[in-house]
Homo-oligomer: A and B are copies of this chain.
Amino acid sequence: MPLKTVFFISDGTGITAASMGHSLLTQFPDIQLSKQFRPFIDTLEKARTVVNEINALSQRTREKPILFTTIVDSTIREEIGRSQAVVLDLFHGFIQQLSKHWHTEANPYIGRAHGLEDNPTYNVRIDALNYTLSTDDGLGYQLYPEADVILIGVSRSGKTPTCLYLAMHFGIYAANYAYTDDDGQYFELLPELKAQRSKLFGLVISPEHLHEIRTKRKPNTEYASLARCQQELKMMRDLLTREKIPFIDATVRSVEEISTTIVTQMGLIRRDV
């Protein structure tokens, strides 16, 4: 089957269009796609340029491309709507439904979703990100009292990406502390962690997967050996069980899934809303 072209067109960053489009397209895993991103289409002139591009493609391939659009301005929206394409307008129908239900007119404003204005949650997300960087990997113990959650786990079990995601998306202050067996360290809770016991959450992972990740980073070292990974993970699981700390297996879960599970299980307050 030839490549199907999909455009993501927005008068803002196009992040919502890309996210929604991606989710919808994953339901069609057999379709081979060419994805074209056209963000910041915020003037009629830019809209006309895109429409010309789409029409030329449509005529050349004799197939209408798909457009995922999130356009607030009605003039630009109508211009894009005149393309020789299948337009999936991700905003308009839902905005009309909300407007009708709430008996309120929408107040069109381009780029509000991912911009700075009217976005009081933005600063807290950046602040949370800086917090995570300041406390990453065992730094900044003195900042633990300010944490919403402190992830613990062996080195390379996914703590840092998860903390960064929690911070950037949910505005959650996430620290992490890594266990290793480098110096025969006994796997126990430091006083600084014991003092924050209710905030602790563990990550585990399969020894085979950890071995693979560590091997990429430091091939042929004792640190990356399967035996060492097995040993550390056993000690980690013993610690989590002994101390009754909730944990999740990161082996077959994405950072998005792990983060969402932590927020739900720990009852954390999202600051991005």
Task: Determine whether the beta carbon of B20 is less than 8 Å from that of A257.
Answer: no
A114 at interface, CB cutoff 8 A: yes
A186 at the interface (CB under 8 A from B): no
Q: A98–B90 Cα gap in the complex (Å)?
A: 13
Binding site for B on A (CB under 8 A): 4, 12-16, 18-20, 22-31, 35, 37, 39-40, 64, 66, 70, 72, 86, 88, 90-91, 93-95, 97-99, 101-102, 104, 106-109, 111-116, 118-119, 122, 126, 129, 133, 160-161, 164-165, 168-169, 252-257, 260-261, 263-264, 270, 273
Q: Which residues on the B side are within 8 Å of A107 (C-beta)?
A: 27-30
Which residues on B sit within 8 Å (CB–CB) of A169?
15
Bound-state CA distance A24–B64 (Å) is 27
Determine if A102 and B28 form an interchain contact, defined as CB atoms under 8 angstroms apart.
Answer: yes
Q: Which residue of chain B is the closest to A90 with respect to CB atoms?
A: B20
A97 and B86 contacting across the interface, CB-CB below 8 Å? yes
| Cβ–Cβ < 8 Å partners of A102 in chain B | 4, 28, 31
Is B101 in contact with A39, judged by CB distance below 8 angstroms?
Answer: no
